[in-house]
Amino acid sequence: MAETEIVSDGNNKRDDVSIQIEDAGDMLASSIGNKLESIAPLASERCIYRIPQLLRRVNEATYTPRVISIGPYHRGKESLQAMEEHKWRYLRIFLNHFPNKKSIQDYIKALRELHERARQCYIETIQLSVDEFVEMMLLDSCFIIVFLLRVTSDDLKDSNNDPIFHTMWMSQVIQLDMVLLENQLPFFVLERLLQLAGPDSKGHETDIRGLMKSTFMNVFMENHTIDPDIVPKHFLDFLLHFFMSSSLNNLPQDNAGCIVTHSATELHQAGVKFVVGRSSLLMDVRFSKSNGILEIPTLNIDDRTEILFRNLIAWEQCQDLPIPYIISYAFLMDCLINTPEDVSLLIKYGVIKNWLGDNKETSLLFNKLCKDVCMGRSNMYFSSLCKDLNAYRKISCHEWQATLRRDYCNTPWRIISFIAAVILLILSLLQTIFTIHH
């Protein structure tokens, strides 16, 4: 308390002041106590985050939905209201698509049972009533499912009359909005609705994983599947597991905390040979110290690349991962690419397919991709590979051999000329020696 001793001056004024101070102290303590009690415990389910301002300020547009809000974070934004009518239309299509014809009450009941768990997936306290939250989950989930079905199958024949698919751009932008970290629904909500819906008209269960993979087929590679034991937290997490499912144990990790200290052009001048990786999986980057071959899977660069990478990186930043694989890949490419000339070199050898058309824009993309991204070098997945590249660059004979191949032996005629010059040099040397001795 602020005051406990009472001193009387004969008219009890001091008593009044003391009591008032004591009351004020009690009120503050009570207020603080109430606030402490009102703090909700941190939920273990939380997996849908706001983008940290440190990352958002680098390129806010890559984290912001342009057409549709999914989940509560961007719900109600005026710029996204045009899609709300489509959500109701897609809900009606969903209810009529499955033969068992579950009622709307069945789906609402199922989502009510999940709503507390679903709320806990969001890092922020969601200021929606139970009914509002359940309605949002129902509309957004059914929209996603019907949208994926229309992208991947011919079952919904009236898609040609759908304004979303009747334009060249809208479905593409919706797909991009679906990969934003702030625009996610819990994966278990989608799975529960499809489980309740039952098989389609052909008797097949609708597999949400298969629908997602088929929709983003150009991101995934043939014969590449996600471990069935892995349960994604949401769609962006599903994409992350696809990239992480490559042969991640092929490279020995010594946690050396090493990064590549030379660009692609400098490494090429030192004798490193860039080739397209035998595997098409993103993380399968390999370097052979014996022959200086650096294998990198082909990466398609287009308007979607930055959005996808930035949101995957943000998702990794929001987790406590022993090794952030996407961030490691982005750091590696940032080290290799410093200038448009580096991009040109990687395009020449098939490592990059640049659909942006501007090599400068592509180099800036990678140079800024890891800006303000936090990662200890000891966590970098490619530490051993970077260490080997740096060591290879330091060996002088590798650079001499590369210079010889590049400047003197890059065409058959130059090889012949070089051999002739060497023979003449040897003959001249022998003649000089013979002359001296005789």
> For 256-282, what is each residue's pLDDT tens digit?
566 778 899 999 988 899 999 988 788
Share above pLDDT 90 across residues of the chain, in percent, rounded to a whole number: 52
Burial category of 407 from C-beta neighbours within 10 Å (exposed 0-12, middle 13-18, buried 19 and up): exposed
Q: Is 41 left (phi over 0), alpha (psi -120 to 50) or beta?
A: beta
Query: Which range is least confidently modeled, 17-31, 62-76, 300-314?
Result: 17-31
Average pLDDT over residues 1-8: 46
pLDDT digits (tens, 9 = 90+) for 92-144: 999 998 888 899 999 999 999 999 999 999 999 999 999 999 999 999 999 99
CA distance from start to end of the chain:
114
Is the pLDDT reported for residue 8 higher than 80? no
pLDDT bin (cut points 50, 70, 90) of residue 360 is very high
- What value does the mean pLDDT of the chain take? 84
Kind and range of the H or E run holding 333: helix 325-336
Average pLDDT over residues 372-388: 84
Q: What is the pLDDT of residue 29?
A: 87
Distance in angstroms (rounded) separating the CA atoms of residues 306 and 361: 11
Length of the chain: 438
Closest listed residue to residue 375, CA positions, set 121, 47, 54, 46: 54
CB atoms within 10 A of CB 68: 23
What SS3 class is residue 300?
strand
What SS3 class is residue 205?
coil
Q: What is the pLDDT of residue 131?
A: 98
Strand segments (E) across 271-363:
273-276, 286-288, 293-296, 299-301, 352-354
Is the pLDDT reported for residue 7 higher than 90? no
Q: What is the pLDDT of residue 398?
A: 47
Can you name the residues that pair with 353 across neighbouring β-strands? Answer: 300
Q: What is the pLDDT of residue 241?
A: 87
Using CA of residue 318, residue 322, residue 325, residue 327, what is the dihedral sign?
A: positive
Is the pLDDT reported for residue 85 higher than 90? yes
Average pLDDT over residues 377-404: 73
Beta strand 286-288 pairing with 293-296: antiparallel
256 close to 384: Cβ distance less than 8 angstroms: yes
The amino acid at residue 26 is D
> For the whole model, what pTM was predicted?
0.82
Is the pLDDT reported for residue 34 higher than 90? no
Sheet holding 293-296, edge to edge: 273-276, 293-296, 286-288
